[in-house]
Protein backbone atom coordinates (compact mmCIF):
# COMPACT_ATOMS: atom_id res chain seq x y z
CA UNK A 1 0.00 0.00 0.00
CA UNK A 2 1.31 3.47 -0.86
CA UNK A 3 2.09 5.69 2.12
CA UNK A 4 0.08 8.89 2.49
CA UNK A 5 3.25 10.88 3.17
CA UNK A 6 6.85 9.86 2.81
CA UNK A 7 9.95 11.91 3.68
CA UNK A 8 13.39 10.75 2.51
CA UNK A 9 16.26 12.56 4.25
CA UNK A 10 14.27 15.79 4.33
CA UNK A 11 15.88 18.93 5.76
CA UNK A 12 14.60 22.46 6.11
CA UNK A 13 17.28 24.83 7.31
CA UNK A 14 16.79 28.55 7.95
CA UNK A 15 20.34 29.90 7.78
CA UNK A 16 22.14 28.13 10.60
CA UNK A 17 18.88 26.87 12.21
CA UNK A 18 18.20 23.24 11.39
CA UNK A 19 14.42 23.31 11.87
CA UNK A 20 14.13 19.88 10.24
CA UNK A 21 17.27 17.83 9.82
CA UNK A 22 17.54 14.79 7.52
CA UNK A 23 14.22 13.25 8.53
CA UNK A 24 12.91 9.94 7.21
CA UNK A 25 9.21 9.55 7.85
CA UNK A 26 6.32 7.47 6.56
CA UNK A 27 2.71 8.20 7.38
CA UNK A 28 0.47 5.29 6.39
CA UNK A 29 -2.73 5.86 4.44
CA UNK A 30 -5.74 6.16 6.74
CA UNK A 31 -3.83 6.45 10.00
CA UNK A 32 -4.03 9.03 12.76
CA UNK A 33 -0.42 10.13 13.07
CA UNK A 34 0.79 12.46 15.82
CA UNK A 35 3.94 14.58 15.75
CA UNK A 36 4.91 15.14 19.36
CA UNK A 37 7.79 17.21 20.70
CA UNK A 38 8.81 20.26 22.69
CA UNK A 39 8.51 23.79 21.34
CA UNK A 40 10.91 24.46 18.48
CA UNK A 41 11.55 20.77 17.71
CA UNK A 42 10.44 21.06 14.07
CA UNK A 43 6.88 19.68 14.13
CA UNK A 44 5.18 22.66 12.50
CA UNK A 45 7.91 22.93 9.89
CA UNK A 46 7.26 19.28 8.97
CA UNK A 47 3.56 20.01 8.67
CA UNK A 48 4.27 23.04 6.48
CA UNK A 49 6.52 20.90 4.27
CA UNK A 50 3.65 18.45 3.77
CA UNK A 51 1.20 21.29 3.12
CA UNK A 52 3.56 22.92 0.62
CA UNK A 53 4.01 26.20 2.55
CA UNK A 54 7.70 25.30 2.88
CA UNK A 55 10.07 23.61 0.46
CA UNK A 56 12.80 21.25 1.66
CA UNK A 57 16.38 22.50 1.61
CA UNK A 58 17.35 18.90 0.87
CA UNK A 59 15.61 15.54 0.49
CA UNK A 60 12.45 14.30 -1.16
CA UNK A 61 8.75 14.27 -0.20
CA UNK A 62 6.00 12.15 -1.71
CA UNK A 63 2.27 12.41 -1.05
CA UNK A 64 0.41 9.25 -2.06
CA UNK A 65 3.35 8.26 -4.24
CA UNK A 66 3.61 11.57 -6.09
CA UNK A 67 6.53 13.97 -5.82
CA UNK A 68 5.52 16.97 -3.73
CA UNK A 69 8.39 19.34 -4.49
CA UNK A 70 7.28 22.13 -6.79
CA UNK A 71 3.56 21.30 -6.37
CA UNK A 72 1.65 24.29 -4.95
CA UNK A 73 -0.33 23.83 -1.69
CA UNK A 74 -3.79 23.96 -3.30
CA UNK A 75 -2.91 21.16 -5.75
CA UNK A 76 -1.73 18.70 -3.08
CA UNK A 77 -5.07 17.28 -1.92
CA UNK A 78 -3.98 18.22 1.56
CA UNK A 79 -5.68 20.68 3.90
CA UNK A 80 -4.70 22.31 7.19
CA UNK A 81 -6.53 23.23 10.39
CA UNK A 82 -4.51 26.00 12.03
CA UNK A 83 -4.22 26.57 15.75
CA UNK A 84 -5.76 30.05 15.54
CA UNK A 85 -8.49 28.69 13.18
CA UNK A 86 -7.87 31.58 10.71
CA UNK A 87 -11.59 32.19 10.05
CA UNK A 88 -12.67 35.29 8.12
CA UNK A 89 -14.49 37.46 10.71
CA UNK A 90 -16.59 39.36 8.15
CA UNK A 91 -18.03 36.21 6.55
CA UNK A 92 -20.69 34.03 8.09
CA UNK A 93 -19.98 30.43 9.03
CA UNK A 94 -21.42 28.99 5.85
CA UNK A 95 -19.28 31.21 3.61
CA UNK A 96 -16.20 30.47 5.72
CA UNK A 97 -16.79 26.73 5.40
CA UNK A 98 -17.48 26.91 1.66
CA UNK A 99 -14.66 29.36 0.91
CA UNK A 100 -12.41 26.89 -0.93
CA UNK A 101 -15.34 25.80 -3.13
CA UNK A 102 -16.08 29.42 -4.02
CA UNK A 103 -12.44 29.92 -5.08
CA UNK A 104 -12.79 26.84 -7.28
CA UNK A 105 -15.88 28.37 -8.92
CA UNK A 106 -18.43 25.89 -7.51
CA UNK A 107 -21.99 27.28 -7.80
CA UNK A 108 -23.91 28.67 -4.81
CA UNK A 109 -26.46 25.85 -4.51
CA UNK A 110 -23.77 23.16 -4.47
CA UNK A 111 -21.65 25.23 -2.05
CA UNK A 112 -24.56 25.54 0.33
CA UNK A 113 -25.32 21.82 0.16
CA UNK A 114 -21.67 20.94 0.87
CA UNK A 115 -21.44 23.47 3.73
CA UNK A 116 -24.60 22.09 5.37
CA UNK A 117 -23.15 18.57 5.11
CA UNK A 118 -19.77 19.64 6.53
CA UNK A 119 -21.42 21.50 9.43
CA UNK A 120 -23.48 18.41 10.15
CA UNK A 121 -20.29 16.36 10.28
CA UNK A 122 -18.79 18.59 12.98
CA UNK A 123 -22.09 18.73 14.87
CA UNK A 124 -22.93 22.37 14.13
CA UNK A 125 -26.11 22.05 12.05
CA UNK A 126 -27.93 25.36 11.61
CA UNK A 127 -24.93 27.55 12.49
CA UNK A 128 -24.37 28.69 8.87
CA UNK A 129 -25.78 32.25 9.23
CA UNK A 130 -23.71 33.14 12.32
CA UNK A 131 -20.49 35.14 12.29
CA UNK A 132 -17.32 33.63 13.87
CA UNK A 133 -17.48 36.35 16.55
CA UNK A 134 -20.81 34.90 17.72
CA UNK A 135 -19.33 31.45 18.43
CA UNK A 136 -17.47 29.93 21.37
CA UNK A 137 -13.84 28.81 20.97
CA UNK A 138 -14.88 25.18 20.62
CA UNK A 139 -17.48 26.05 17.97
CA UNK A 140 -14.92 28.10 15.99
CA UNK A 141 -12.63 25.08 16.12
CA UNK A 142 -15.38 22.93 14.61
CA UNK A 143 -16.01 25.50 11.86
CA UNK A 144 -12.29 25.44 11.00
CA UNK A 145 -12.50 21.65 10.83
CA UNK A 146 -15.58 21.76 8.59
CA UNK A 147 -13.83 24.25 6.30
CA UNK A 148 -10.81 21.97 6.01
CA UNK A 149 -12.93 18.86 5.37
CA UNK A 150 -15.27 20.34 2.75
CA UNK A 151 -12.77 19.84 -0.08
CA UNK A 152 -12.46 16.12 0.89
CA UNK A 153 -8.66 16.18 1.30
CA UNK A 154 -6.74 12.90 1.33
CA UNK A 155 -4.55 14.20 4.15
CA UNK A 156 -5.72 16.55 6.90
CA UNK A 157 -3.00 18.41 8.78
CA UNK A 158 -3.88 19.69 12.25
CA UNK A 159 -1.50 22.10 13.97
CA UNK A 160 -2.26 22.05 17.72
CA UNK A 161 -5.96 22.49 16.92
CA UNK A 162 -7.10 21.98 20.51
CA UNK A 163 -4.49 24.24 22.12
CA UNK A 164 -6.88 27.12 22.81
CA UNK A 165 -9.62 25.02 24.41
CA UNK A 166 -10.17 24.38 28.11
CA UNK A 167 -9.48 20.90 29.46
CA UNK A 168 -13.04 19.56 29.40
CA UNK A 169 -13.73 20.71 25.86
CA UNK A 170 -10.31 19.50 24.81
CA UNK A 171 -11.06 15.99 26.02
CA UNK A 172 -14.43 16.02 24.28
CA UNK A 173 -12.88 17.23 21.02
CA UNK A 174 -10.16 14.57 21.25
CA UNK A 175 -12.86 11.90 21.28
CA UNK A 176 -14.78 13.56 18.47
CA UNK A 177 -11.73 14.05 16.26
CA UNK A 178 -10.73 10.44 16.70
CA UNK A 179 -14.25 9.24 15.84
CA UNK A 180 -14.41 11.57 12.83
CA UNK A 181 -11.08 10.33 11.53
CA UNK A 182 -12.19 6.70 11.76
CA UNK A 183 -15.52 7.49 10.09
CA UNK A 184 -14.00 9.42 7.18
CA UNK A 185 -10.88 7.27 6.78
CA UNK A 186 -8.83 10.38 5.92
CA UNK A 187 -5.17 10.37 6.99
CA UNK A 188 -4.75 12.81 9.89
CA UNK A 189 -1.37 14.29 10.80
CA UNK A 190 -1.70 15.99 14.14
CA UNK A 191 0.91 18.25 15.77
CA UNK A 192 0.96 18.57 19.54
CA UNK A 193 3.34 19.14 22.43
CA UNK A 194 0.88 17.41 24.77
CA UNK A 195 1.98 13.81 25.28
CA UNK A 196 -1.37 12.73 26.78
CA UNK A 197 -3.15 13.98 23.69
CA UNK A 198 -0.75 12.19 21.33
CA UNK A 199 -0.94 8.90 23.24
CA UNK A 200 -4.72 8.90 23.54
CA UNK A 201 -5.55 9.88 19.97
CA UNK A 202 -2.92 8.57 17.60
CA UNK A 203 -2.40 5.21 15.90
CA UNK A 204 1.31 6.07 15.79
CA UNK A 205 3.41 8.83 17.29
CA UNK A 206 6.67 10.41 16.12
CA UNK A 207 8.66 12.04 18.94
CA UNK A 208 10.65 15.07 17.75
CA UNK A 209 13.64 16.79 19.27
CA UNK A 210 15.85 19.47 17.73
CA UNK A 211 14.71 18.89 14.17
CA UNK A 212 15.05 15.12 14.36
CA UNK A 213 12.72 12.20 15.01
CA UNK A 214 13.83 10.31 18.11
CA UNK A 215 11.33 7.46 17.85
CA UNK A 216 8.23 6.42 15.91
CA UNK A 217 5.78 3.82 17.13
CA UNK A 218 2.38 2.93 18.50
CA UNK A 219 1.56 4.82 21.73
CA UNK A 220 2.09 1.68 23.84
CA UNK A 221 5.52 1.10 22.27
CA UNK A 222 6.65 4.65 22.83
CA UNK A 223 5.45 4.58 26.42
CA UNK A 224 6.54 1.08 27.39
CA UNK A 225 9.73 0.92 25.33
CA UNK A 226 11.28 4.39 25.05
CA UNK A 227 14.49 4.13 23.09
CA UNK A 228 16.25 7.05 24.74
CA UNK A 229 16.28 9.06 27.93
CA UNK A 230 14.77 11.97 26.01
CA UNK A 231 11.72 9.91 24.96
CA UNK A 232 11.34 8.32 28.41
CA UNK A 233 11.28 11.77 30.00
CA UNK A 234 9.18 13.56 27.42
CA UNK A 235 6.48 10.89 27.07
CA UNK A 236 5.07 10.63 30.59
CA UNK A 237 7.32 10.80 33.60
CA UNK A 238 9.85 8.09 34.21
CA UNK A 239 12.55 6.98 36.62
CA UNK A 240 15.76 7.02 34.63
CA UNK A 241 18.04 4.49 36.27
CA UNK A 242 21.80 4.83 35.75
CA UNK A 243 23.93 1.73 35.04
CA UNK A 244 25.48 1.68 38.53
CA UNK A 245 22.06 1.51 40.19
CA UNK A 246 20.77 -1.19 37.89
CA UNK A 247 23.89 -3.25 38.41
CA UNK A 248 23.59 -2.88 42.19
CA UNK A 249 20.03 -4.25 41.86
CA UNK A 250 21.33 -7.29 39.99
CA UNK A 251 20.69 -5.99 36.44
CA UNK A 252 23.02 -5.18 33.56
CA UNK A 253 25.24 -2.07 33.48
CA UNK A 254 22.93 -0.04 31.23
CA UNK A 255 20.59 2.92 31.36
CA UNK A 256 17.00 1.89 31.99
CA UNK A 257 13.56 3.43 32.43
CA UNK A 258 11.08 2.43 35.12
CA UNK A 259 7.63 4.03 35.12
CA UNK A 260 6.41 5.38 38.51
CA UNK A 261 3.25 3.27 38.37
CA UNK A 262 5.47 0.16 38.27
CA UNK A 263 7.21 0.97 41.56
CA UNK A 264 5.34 -0.79 44.38
CA UNK A 265 5.47 -0.39 48.14
CA UNK A 266 5.91 -3.86 49.66
CA UNK A 267 5.68 -5.18 53.19
CA UNK A 268 8.74 -7.42 53.07
CA UNK A 269 11.79 -8.04 50.88
CA UNK A 270 12.38 -5.60 48.00
CA UNK A 271 14.71 -2.62 48.41
CA UNK A 272 15.08 -0.46 51.49
CA UNK A 273 13.92 3.08 50.83
CA UNK A 274 12.99 6.32 52.60
CA UNK A 275 9.70 8.06 51.84
CA UNK A 276 10.75 11.66 51.26
CA UNK A 277 7.48 13.31 50.29
CA UNK A 278 4.23 13.05 48.39
CA UNK A 279 2.00 14.96 45.95
CA UNK A 280 -1.71 14.32 45.97
CA UNK A 281 -3.02 14.01 42.38
CA UNK A 282 -6.64 13.03 43.05
CA UNK A 283 -7.10 9.31 42.44
CA UNK A 284 -3.34 8.71 42.63
CA UNK A 285 -0.57 10.01 44.88
CA UNK A 286 3.00 10.50 43.65
CA UNK A 287 5.63 9.47 46.18
CA UNK A 288 9.21 10.71 46.24
CA UNK A 289 11.49 7.97 47.52
CA UNK A 290 15.19 7.43 47.89
CA UNK A 291 16.82 4.03 47.52
CA UNK A 292 20.32 4.80 48.74
CA UNK A 293 21.48 7.73 46.61
CA UNK A 294 18.89 7.01 43.88
CA UNK A 295 15.70 9.08 43.83
CA UNK A 296 12.62 7.19 42.68
CA UNK A 297 9.12 8.33 41.99
CA UNK A 298 6.19 5.97 42.61
CA UNK A 299 2.54 6.37 41.71
CA UNK A 300 0.15 4.67 44.13
CA UNK A 301 -3.64 4.79 44.61
CA UNK A 302 -4.49 7.59 47.04
CA UNK A 303 -6.74 5.15 48.88
CA UNK A 304 -3.78 2.95 49.90
CA UNK A 305 -2.50 3.37 53.49
CA UNK A 306 0.74 5.36 53.49
CA UNK A 307 3.36 5.85 56.21
CA UNK A 308 4.47 9.34 57.24
CA UNK A 309 7.14 11.26 55.36
CA UNK A 310 10.60 10.26 56.53
CA UNK A 311 9.54 6.66 57.24
CA UNK A 312 11.63 3.67 56.18
CA UNK A 313 9.71 1.64 53.59
CA UNK A 314 10.38 -1.15 51.12
CA UNK A 315 9.88 -0.90 47.38
CA UNK A 316 9.96 -3.37 44.54
CA UNK A 317 9.17 -3.77 40.86
CA UNK A 318 8.86 -6.57 38.33
CA UNK A 319 11.98 -7.26 36.30
CA UNK A 320 9.76 -6.95 33.18
CA UNK A 321 9.00 -3.34 34.01
CA UNK A 322 12.66 -2.34 33.75
CA UNK A 323 13.17 -1.18 30.19
CA UNK A 324 16.79 -1.07 29.02
CA UNK A 325 17.37 1.87 26.66
CA UNK A 326 19.43 1.54 23.50
CA UNK A 327 20.40 5.18 23.49
CA UNK A 328 21.46 7.01 26.63
CA UNK A 329 20.95 10.53 25.21
P1 LIG B 1 6.03 24.86 18.52
O2 LIG B 1 5.50 23.69 19.28
O3 LIG B 1 6.54 25.96 19.40
O4 LIG B 1 5.14 25.35 17.43
P5 LIG B 1 7.64 23.35 16.58
O6 LIG B 1 8.15 22.05 17.09
O7 LIG B 1 6.44 23.34 15.73
O8 LIG B 1 7.42 24.35 17.81
P9 LIG B 1 8.93 24.75 14.43
O10 LIG B 1 7.90 25.83 14.36
O11 LIG B 1 8.90 23.74 13.35
O12 LIG B 1 8.87 24.02 15.84
O13 LIG B 1 10.35 25.45 14.49
C14 LIG B 1 11.59 24.72 14.51
C15 LIG B 1 12.73 25.70 14.57
O16 LIG B 1 12.84 26.41 13.35
C17 LIG B 1 12.60 26.76 15.68
O18 LIG B 1 13.89 27.01 16.20
C19 LIG B 1 12.10 27.97 14.90
O20 LIG B 1 12.49 29.17 15.55
C21 LIG B 1 12.77 27.79 13.56
N22 LIG B 1 11.99 28.39 12.45
C23 LIG B 1 10.77 27.99 12.03
N24 LIG B 1 10.37 28.75 10.98
C25 LIG B 1 11.35 29.65 10.75
C26 LIG B 1 11.54 30.70 9.78
N27 LIG B 1 10.61 30.98 8.85
N28 LIG B 1 12.69 31.39 9.85
C29 LIG B 1 13.65 31.11 10.76
N30 LIG B 1 13.53 30.13 11.68
C31 LIG B 1 12.41 29.41 11.68
Separation between Cα atoms, residue 316 and residue 329, nearest integer Å: 26
Kindly report, residue by residue over 45-79, the tens digit of the pLDDT: 999 999 999 999 999 999 999 999 999 998 899 99
Q: State the pLDDT at residue 129.
A: 93
Most confident of 38-52, 124-138, 158-172: 38-52
Q: Which range has the worst mean pLDDT, 55-64, 83-92, 127-136?
A: 83-92
Q: State the pLDDT at residue 207.
A: 97
Q: What average pLDDT does range 114-130 have in this prediction? A: 91
Q: State the pLDDT at residue 328.
A: 64
Residue nearest to atom 29 of ligand 1 (CA): 14
Separation between Cα atoms, residue 278 and residue 317, nearest integer Å: 19
Neighbouring CB atoms inside 10 A of 261's CB total 15
Domain boundaries, the chain: 5-233, 257-324
Q: State the pLDDT at residue 83.
A: 79
Q: What average pLDDT does range 200-215 have in this prediction? A: 96
Closest ligand 1 atom, residue 48 Cα: 11
pTM of the model: 0.89
Contact yes or no for 151/101 (Cβ under 8 A): yes
Q: How wide is the angle at C-alpha 96 spanned by C-alphas 137 and 124, nearest 5°?
A: 55
Pocket probe mutation, ligand 1, options 17, 25, 46, 213, max atoms within 8 Å of Cβ: 17
Closest ligand 1 atom, residue 211 Cα: 14
Q: How wide is the angle at C-alpha 227 spanned by C-alphas 211 and 18, nearest 5°?
A: 10
Q: Which residues line ligand 1 (CB under 6 A)?
A: 14, 17, 19, 37, 39-45, 193
Q: Sort strands 5-14 and 58-63 into parallel, antiparallel or unpaired.
A: antiparallel
What is the SS3 assignment for 54?
Answer: coil
Contact yes or no for 208/36 (Cβ under 8 A): yes
Separation between Cα atoms, residue 201 and residue 213, nearest integer Å: 19
Using the mean position of ligand 1's atoms as its centre, give its distance from the Cα of residue 111 in Å: 36
74-100 CB burial, b ≥16 within 10 A, e <16? eebebbbbbbebebeeeebbbbbbbbb
Closest ligand 1 atom, residue 44 Cα: 7
Burial of 243 (0-12, 13-18, 19+ CB in 10 A): middle
The CATH number fitting domain 257-324, selected from 2.130.10.10, 3.40.50.620, 2.40.50.140, 2.40.50.100: 2.40.50.140
Write out the H or E segment, with its range, that includes residue 291.
Answer: strand 284-291
Neighbouring CB atoms inside 10 A of 277's CB total 10
Q: How wide is the angle at C-alpha 20 spanned by C-alphas 16 and 24, nearest 5°?
A: 140
Kindly report, residue by residue over 269-326, the tens digit of the pLDDT: 889 999 999 999 999 999 999 999 999 999 999 998 889 999 999 999 998 999 998 7
- CATH no. of 5-233: 3.40.50.300
Burial of 57 (0-12, 13-18, 19+ CB in 10 A): middle
* Closest to 213 in 3D by CA, of 84, 83, 25, 71: 25
Amino acid sequence: MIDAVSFSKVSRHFGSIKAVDAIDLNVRAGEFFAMLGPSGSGKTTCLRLIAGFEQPTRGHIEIFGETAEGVSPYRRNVNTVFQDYALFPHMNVEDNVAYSLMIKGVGKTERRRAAVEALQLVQLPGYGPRRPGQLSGGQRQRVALARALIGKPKVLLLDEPLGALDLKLREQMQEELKALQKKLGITFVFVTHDQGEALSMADRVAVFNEGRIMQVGAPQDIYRRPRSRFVANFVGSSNILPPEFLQACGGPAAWASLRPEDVNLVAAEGHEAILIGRSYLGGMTRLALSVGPQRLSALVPSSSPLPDDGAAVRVDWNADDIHIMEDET
